[in-house]
Amino acid sequence: MDAPPPGLTDFALEHMLEPELADEVLSCTPEGHLVVQVRGEAMTRTDGLLLCTDNLVIRPLARRMQGRVVPEVFARLSSLQGDGYLVLAHQGETFHVVRLDGDLCFFVEPFLWAMDPGLLWDVGILPGTRRGDEPIHLVRAAGEGTLAFRAPGRVVSLKVAADRPARVRRGRLVGWVGAVVPWADPTGRFLRCEGEGAVFVWFPPTPAGAGPTP
């Protein structure tokens, strides 16, 4: 005999979303959606918003270049102030939450989704891409804290060493950590990465039922 259905109040308590109990500013739900906790301030994108507490104030984030605030507004990141949380949909992509322990890293701006307010950051443009219609905008982050990035496919890292530079397709670069120096090659289709560190690249997913992408 089937068990009787739970009472509605019991169901509500059993399925209660309680991200404020977590220790981290950034985390993911079991379904892979991003949870951003705001304890005073947080920096995050708001597109893909599923839900949020209604006691948060959202303000445009002043853009920084080389440590200076400039009058432009950072296109995607916003400053959230207050005490609460929001949940952002993965929208078919994959969120990755990572911790910086004094690391210096760079992310291609469209992939970056949220940052711990304790991180130091500013923005710039990848060398060799300023000219043309599609400059590669970067976010540099350093210090102690977490950040979240999202990619449409599997993310892999590629070691770069002084004696082993790497070349990656321009649209696949997610970011890098360490003393890596990427620059656009003359064709504009690839980026040559030199120095010491690791480069993050995303692989396109294989459609269900299809063979490997050539």
Question: How far is residue 94's CA from residue 101's CA, in Å, rounded to a whole number?
Answer: 23
Confidence of residue 107 (pLDDT cuts 50, 70, 90): very high
- Report which of residues 25 and 206 the model is more confident about: 25
The pLDDT value recorded for residue 207 is 66
Give the highest mean pLDDT range of 79-83, 130-134, 148-152: 148-152
Closest CA to 201 of 166, 137, 139, 155: 155
Question: Phi first, then psi: what are they for 88, rounded to 5°?
Answer: -110, 135
The token duo for 88 is 């952002």
Percent of residues in the chain assigned helix, strand, coil, to nearest 5? 5, 60, 35
Nearest Cα neighbor of 43 from 97, 87, 81, 88 is 81
Q: Is 4 exposed, middle or buried (0-12, 13-18, 19+ CB in 10 A)?
A: exposed
Write the CB contacts of 160 (distance below 8 Å, at least 6 apart in sequence): 166, 176, 178, 180, 193, 194, 195, 196, 197, 198, 199
Question: Counting runs of H as helices and runs of E as strands, what totals does the chain give?
Answer: 1, 13
Return the structure tokens found at 153: 């496919």
What confidence tens digit (pLDDT) does each residue in 113-142 have? Answer: 999 888 988 888 888 787 666 889 899 999
Quickly state the pLDDT bin for 64 (edges 50, 70, 90): low
* Domains of the chain, each with CATH number or no CATH: 24-203 (3.60.160.10)
Residue 73: pLDDT over 70:
no
CA–CA gap between residue 124 and residue 140 (Å, rounded) = 8
- Rounded to two decimals, what is the model's pTM? 0.84
Q: Does the pLDDT at position 214 exceed 50?
A: no
Share of the chain above pLDDT 90, in %: 50
Residues 160-205: pLDDT tens digits?
A: 999 999 999 999 999 999 999 998 888 778 999 999 999 999 998 8
Over residues 91-115, the mean pLDDT reads: 94
Task: Indicate the range of 38-47, 59-68, 74-83, 147-156 predicted with least confidence.
Answer: 59-68
Residues 43 and 82 sit within 8 Å (Cβ to Cβ): no
